[in-house]
Amino acid sequence: MVCIVAFFILCITSIFSARFRRPLKKAWACLTKKVRLQKCETGFKDDVKNSVLARVVMRRPELVKPLGVAMEVLAVVLVIVMVWSVAEVVKGGAAMIAFGTCDVRQPSACVLGTGEACNIDGERLGFIESIRTGQPHRFVTNWFSEFGEAFSGIPVRFRNWDAMDYIPENASFYRDFDWGLPIALKILDPGCGVCRDSYLNKLDSGFMDRYNLAFLAYPIPGVQGEEWAFRNSYLIVRYIEAVRSVELEWFLELEEGEGEILRTELATDWMIIDRLFTGFDEMGRQYQDAFNASYSAEEAEERLQSWLREWGFSEEELEQIVDRSRSGEVRATIETNMNVVDNVIRTKMIPTMIFDGRRWHGLYS
């Protein structure tokens, strides 16, 4: 173990000084024997230990034995840490390729990530916590699970993505569907600021004029006891899914020859998103900020209902939408959509977009 540690240290020191290159060769010879499970007979290990203990033995000979043992133990620990570090780097690299973040479980913890995205963080059982709770096996199995997830995500990342495969059945397109344009899907969380910025950028760039754009509403789950990352996201998504569900029923109930009554310029689900991302309340607060930071659940719901009234929904229709938003059907739809995001699209960052055969993470710019 000592020569393995020495090899890595000498690799670094040799970059800066030629005098370490000769011992580096010895360490390499020793290391190559070790990895082939052969005995290292170069005496390099003793040289390394003696170089440290030589001065000790002349002053405090009684410390030589405990220090020698400590060096062996330290070497084992360092080798474990190094192997673990290398494995972490490999895992992080794979995750970076697959998901655009080096941390599979908690993307926000990765300093190499884009930063311009809302991360879908999961709960992580730390090593100390796993020991404290008497389940170190869970720490190990979780680690390997993340390792497998990172590598299995690589081919997924590079496959040919077709937005049509993931657009919810009841979703609407931003503009009237144009057969001549490609299809794009945006996965967004109504509370995510990057989703808002991304939406505004798309408006500015005319993205919606070049693509048939639909969206999948995904409320990012919270961590550390919070149910959701943004406190009113789930409520908004429930309303979006309720509107989609109810409007689809109304559409299907139309008699032949009756035209669909379009109350607003956009489909209602897009209207909610548009108002949320671009509108301001009477106190001058941007709606998304207000929903995230100011509105209670009741206030948020009242605000959503006021928008629907404003857009021409009758009290009876509104009541139907509210009832639907609280229904198991809507909850099931949201769960299904979230399952698609988590396990089929397998993204770790919101917004995620699918267009032009690829999956894109983070801010659209």
Tokens of 179: 């057969």
Min. distance of Cβ 30 from another protein in angstroms? 16
Q: Is 47 helix (H, G, I), strand (E, B) or coil?
A: helix
Would you say 273 and 199 are in contact if contact means Cβ atoms under 8 Å apart? Answer: yes
Tokens of 131: 């020991």
Min. distance of Cβ 21 from another protein in angstroms? 21
- Give the residue with the Cβ less far from another protein, 66 or 206: 66
Question: Going by C-beta distance under 8 Å and a sequence separation of 6 or more, which residues neighbour residue 114?
Answer: 100, 101, 349, 361, 362, 363
- Give the residue with the Cβ less far from another protein, 52 or 89: 52
Q: Give the helix ranges, DSSP H, for the chain.
A: 2-16, 21-35, 44-59, 64-99, 127-132, 136-157, 193-205, 207-210, 233-253, 268-278, 287-289, 297-310, 315-325, 328-339
Spatial separation of the C-alpha atoms in residues 210 and 349, rounded to whole Å: 24
Tell me the C-alpha to C-alpha distance, in Å, between residue 130 and each of 134, 135, 141, 143, 226: 6, 5, 11, 12, 21
Q: Is 36 helix (H, G, I), strand (E, B) or coil?
A: coil
- Give the residue with the Cβ less far from another protein, 58 or 283: 58
Min. distance of Cβ 147 from another protein in angstroms? 42
- Give the residue with the Cβ less far from another protein, 50 or 141: 50
- Give the residue with the Cβ less far from another protein, 37 or 58: 58
Min. distance of Cβ 41 from another protein in angstroms? 13
109 secondary structure, DSSP code: G
Residue 137 CA neighbour count, 13 Å, CB half:
0
Min. distance of Cβ 53 from another protein in angstroms? 6
Q: Is 358 helix (H, G, I), strand (E, B) or coil?
A: strand
- Give the residue with the Cβ less far from another protein, 49 or 303: 49
Min. distance of Cβ 103 from another protein in angstroms? 45
Bridge-based pairing of strands 352-355 and 212-217 is unpaired
Min. distance of Cβ 56 from another protein in angstroms? 8
Residue 63 CA neighbour count, 13 Å, CB half:
11
Min. distance of Cβ 50 from another protein in angstroms? 4
Min. distance of Cβ 156 from another protein in angstroms? 56
- Give the residue with the Cβ less far from another protein, 12 or 54: 54
Spatial separation of the C-alpha atoms in residues 345 and 354, rounded to whole Å: 9
- Give the residue with the Cβ less far from another protein, 15 or 58: 58
- What residues line the site for another protein (CB under 8 A)? 46, 49-51, 53-59, 61, 64-65
- Give the residue with the Cβ less far from another protein, 57 or 82: 57
Would you say 277 and 292 are in contact if contact means Cβ atoms under 8 Å apart? Answer: no
